[in-house]
Chains A and B, each alone.
Chain A
Amino acid sequence: MPKKPITFVLNGAERAAFADPGQNLLDFLRRGVGDLTPKYGCGQGGCGACTVLLDGEPVLACLTLAEAVEGRRVDTVAGLGGPAPHPLQEAFMAHFAAQCGYCTPGMLMSAKALLDRNPRPTREEVIEAISGNLCRCTGYEPIIAAILSAAASGARP
């Protein structure tokens, strides 16, 4: 089966890799490109662990066709922060918002999508923003507190 070359911008840097026919973006990022930060949870759009930003919008990488990102911008947790952690990552640590940590990359990207367009969200807006991300450890409260705290600190990347 012919593979297709895909050129796109990952976390600000141009990348190119080959995609199999029908390959989803999550598999493509993890196996084709080597970015292991988006996680495979359910493969059917139920859990949000694979959330990445596509041209700034949160999408489920497991339900996005890899070929569809040709020429577009993809952001993952690998691009959050620089030498120091991103303020959202700092807040997640401070509030103990990660226990097993499997949902964390998806949570962080959903939170980033929210704060990028709404820097001072209400608690309800935070809950809505992470409503597509499942967490089986924390009961969500520490995650909500972390996102509100990152927003209150006003720190933007």
Chain B
Amino acid sequence: MITAVETYRSAEEAARALGGGGAIYLAGGTLVMAEVNANRTPPRLVRTVDPGLRQIVASSETIRLGAGVTMAQILASRDCAVLHDVARQIGGPQVRSMATVGGNLFARHPYGDLAVALLALGARVALAGQTSLRSLADLLRDRERPALVTQIEVPRPRGDRAFGFVKIARIHPRGASLLSIAAFLPREGSRMRGVRIAYGGMADRPIQAAAVERALEGAVLDEGTIARAVAVAAQGLEPPTDSLASAWYRREVVGVHLRRLLERLSRP
């Protein structure tokens, strides 16, 4: 049961307040307020009204998203065009006007589709009270450790075919994803360099598909390359079984959806 709501002016103060333990951080509320309503939270609710957390700062190389930027803000920002297709597929309009980028990084399966896209794009995160950026991949590996993310820096992909995202859901237009795939395929000439493929729904958190990345790296995205990537689509992965799909089903279909995504990105 919540006994106190603490509202801080800066993210740094909020982070310090969280450090004491017995507290949970409230951002957009779509995940945490459901826990509050069910009486499943520690007693202190910590939040901040830091305006920096709601800002989007774009340059030619990167997009810097405040952790409190909502899906609706992303969709309203021309600078964030690369993320529009992803943000549009998250929740309904109400969820999109509440759910934040920072919260999505900590969303448990089957949520967290934006984090999958950001992982593939090679995003880095800034934590309150720290000067250096940390890779999102690193943050996702031990996201149970308390950390207050303040900014997410997203490198801009070059060209329309450098990034693609697909979300597989049973209910349309709005359902939780049984799996999602994000592909970042930068080209040097005709060859792909610095490939990153990220999955949602194939583990307990967004993860990179290392075997698929190895199959694509340095290759030309043609029929043969796609076949080699699809052959190892589920290699080394232990997807969850839940009410949306079984582990077996996820392993069976991930290659089908990976093939369709790669084929889409291979067309000029």
Q: In this assembly, does B26 line the interface, its C-beta being within 8 Å of a C-beta of chain A?
A: yes
Which of B5, B26, B36, B72 gathers most chain A CB within 10 Å? B5
Binds A, one of B27-35, B208-216, B219-227, B245-253: B27-35
A51 touches which one: B4, B7, B94 (CB < 8 A)? B94
Q: In this assembly, does B173 line the interface, its C-beta being within 8 Å of a C-beta of chain A?
A: yes
Interface string of A97-133 (1 = CB under 8 A from B): 0000000000000100110000000000001110111
Bound together, the chains give a CA A54 to CA B2 distance in angstroms of 23
Q: In this assembly, does B45 line the interface, its C-beta being within 8 Å of a C-beta of chain A?
A: yes
Q: In this assembly, does A24 line the interface, its C-beta being within 8 Å of a C-beta of chain B?
A: yes
Q: In this assembly, does A1 line the interface, its C-beta being within 8 Å of a C-beta of chain B?
A: yes
Q: In this assembly, does B174 line the interface, its C-beta being within 8 Å of a C-beta of chain A?
A: yes
Residues of B within 8 A of A114 (CB): 93
B174 touches which one: A1, A110, A132 (CB < 8 A)? A132
Interface string of B1-44 (1 = CB under 8 A from A): 11111010000000000000000001001100110111001000
- Judge whether A48 and B37 touch: CB under 8 Å: no
- Judge whether A58 and B94 touch: CB under 8 Å: yes
A62 touches which one: B3, B26, B37, B93 (CB < 8 A)? B37
Residues of A within 8 A of B1 (CB): 22
What bracket does the count of chain A residues touching chain B fall in? 20 to 34
Q: In this assembly, does B147 line the interface, its C-beta being within 8 Å of a C-beta of chain A?
A: no
Q: In this assembly, does B97 line the interface, its C-beta being within 8 Å of a C-beta of chain A?
A: yes
A8 to chain B minimum Cβ distance, whole angstroms, is 15
- Judge whether A43 and B92 touch: CB under 8 Å: no
**Partner-A contacts on B (CB < 8 A):** 1-5, 7, 26, 29-30, 33-34, 36-38, 41, 45, 47, 72, 91-95, 97-98, 173-174
**Partner-B contacts on A (CB < 8 A):** 1, 4, 21-22, 24, 43-45, 48, 51, 54, 57-60, 62-65, 67-68, 110, 113-114, 127-129, 131-133
A-B CB proximity, top 3 nearest: A132-B92, A22-B2, A63-B33
